[in-house]
Amino acid sequence: MNTEILSGKGLAGLIRQRAGEEARLLDAAGVRPSLAVVVATADESTLWYVRSIERAAERAGIDCRILDLGQDATEQVLARVLTDLGSEPSVHGIILQTPLPEGVRGENLVGLIAPEKDIDGANPLSLGRLAVGQPAFAPATARSVVEILDHFEVPTAGRDVVVVGRSAVVGKPLSLLLLAKDATVTICHSRTGSLEPFTRSADVVVVAAGRTGLLTGSHVSEKTVVVDVGTNVLPDGSLVGDVDEASVTGVAAALTPVPGGVGSVTTALLLLHTVEAARQQSGVLGLSLAAGVA
Ligand code: NAD
């Protein structure tokens, strides 16, 4: 079996291009799309990731403000900053970057992100709206999986899709998006027991557990399309997903790589969500952003 590698790079480029075009149209109408990223950590890899969002935003013509509150920021300070950004008309998108300082309860803060600016779908209201089919920003990672499947013309309607992971930022919203695309969705998690009976018979398996080597060749069949959401940093500093690439390659039909798969599309979608939010908030008419980009 020749396992097709589904790179996210081409799609990410298309989405960035789309975001850039929309940003230019908005700019011409007097609206400069703007994203605020609230950071409270000294973690180097997080800071690197945030700077990569900043660079990508600027290249797309989106203003990006990094509000670095430091690793000692309190919940009260973070709450005030998020509330202030919510009422700041020049800011269209808000991201609260994790990890947060010890003792800060992120679950108390995400609800303070103004829903119309919640471009990474962190506010529970956004998840609730997704659940009942109302317009909302999905977490960019969850949408990224769906965009990749669409881009590579992997059918989901009436197909069996297994999502491994049930977090509020990836597994749950992704399951809702797939359900909306008429997939038959099974959610597996840390208490599932053996994954094999679920994953082997599935058409699509999405792994979002944060466990190196969780999905191996014995978990898949020749029809399985595998999407690897996991990002795990090995002791040598290299980045790997949740899939044991060596054993899955040659068995599964297709696989997204890590890096260069879901992650690259996710960053591009944050930009697209920001221009969508800017357009909605500014009421600029005459632009059309289709829901899908693939
Ligand atoms: P999380 O820790 O909040 O949730 C992990 C989920 O995996 C849980 O629901 C848990 O039940 C499940 N799980 C853990 N061990 C399991 C096992 N042995 N078998 C089956 N299920 C198991 O993590 P998260 O925030 O949902 O992120 C998941 C992964 O996705 C992480 O590696 C994270 O770094 C990565 N991630 C990637 C992107 C991206 O853009 N590429 C974005 C967000 C998260």
Give tens-digit pLDDT for 56-96: 999 999 999 999 999 999 999 999 999 999 999 999 999 99
Report pLDDT for 285.
60
Pocket test for ligand 1, best of 189, 192, 266 (most atoms within 8 A of CB): 189
- Range of 169's domain? 140-262
Measure the CA–CA gap between 280 and 262, rounded to whole angstroms: 26
Residue 47 lies in a domain: yes
Q: Do 195 and 205 form a contact (C-beta atoms < 8 A)?
A: no
Same domain, 251 and 204: yes
% of residues, the chain, pLDDT over 70: 97
Q: How many CB atoms lie within 10 A of CB 94?
A: 29
For residue 74, what is the domain's CATH number?
Answer: 3.40.50.10860
Same domain, 152 and 109: no
Ligand 1 pocket, residue 273 CB under 6 Å = no
Report pLDDT for 9.
98
E-state strands within 134-241: 160-164, 184-188, 204-207, 225-228, 232-233, 239-240
174-200 pLDDT per residue, tens: 999 999 999 999 999 999 999 999 999
Domain boundary, last residue among 96, 114, 132: 114
Same domain, 104 and 157: no
Ligand 1 pocket, residue 164 CB under 6 Å = yes
Report pLDDT for 287.
47
Same domain, 68 and 147: no
249-266 pLDDT per residue, tens: 999 999 999 999 999 999
Same domain, 54 and 154: no
Ligand 1 pocket, residue 261 CB under 6 Å = no
pTM value is 0.95
Distance from Cα 64 to the centre of ligand 1, integer Å = 27
**Token code pair at residue 29:** 């109408």
Ligand 1 pocket, residue 165 CB under 6 Å = yes
**Is beta strand 184-188 parallel, antiparallel or unpaired with respect to 160-164?**
parallel
Residue 282 lies in a domain: no
Same domain, 256 and 155: yes
Residue 292 lies in a domain: no
Nearest to 200 by CA among 183, 223, 182: 223
For residue 223, what is the domain's CATH number?
Answer: 3.40.50.720
Measure the CA–CA gap between 178 and 261, rounded to whole angstroms: 18
Residue 38 lies in a domain: yes
Residue 69 lies in a domain: yes
Nearest to 240 by CA among 255, 250, 221: 255
Residue 36 lies in a domain: yes
**Cα Rg of the chain (Å, integer):** 19
The sign of the torsion formed by the CA atoms of 33, 99, 234, 47 equals positive
pLDDT exceeds 90 at position 283: no
Ligand 1 pocket, residue 209 CB under 6 Å = yes
Q: Do 230 and 243 form a contact (C-beta atoms < 8 A)?
A: yes
Report pLDDT for 91.
98
Same domain, 167 and 67: no
Pocket test for ligand 1, best of 172, 174, 190 (most atoms within 8 A of CB): 190
Give the pLDDT mean for 100-109.
97
Atom of ligand 1 nearest to the CA of 266: 40
Report pLDDT for 111.
98
229-239 pLDDT per residue, tens: 999 999 998 99
Same domain, 184 and 249: yes
Residue 10 lies in a domain: no
E-state strands within 60-191: 63-68, 93-96, 160-164, 184-188
Report pLDDT for 292.
44
Count of structural domains within the chain:
2
Same domain, 66 and 100: yes
Ligand 1 pocket, residue 175 CB under 6 Å = no
Distance from Cα 178 to the centre of ligand 1, integer Å = 17
Ligand 1 pocket, residue 208 CB under 6 Å = yes
Residue 70 lies in a domain: yes
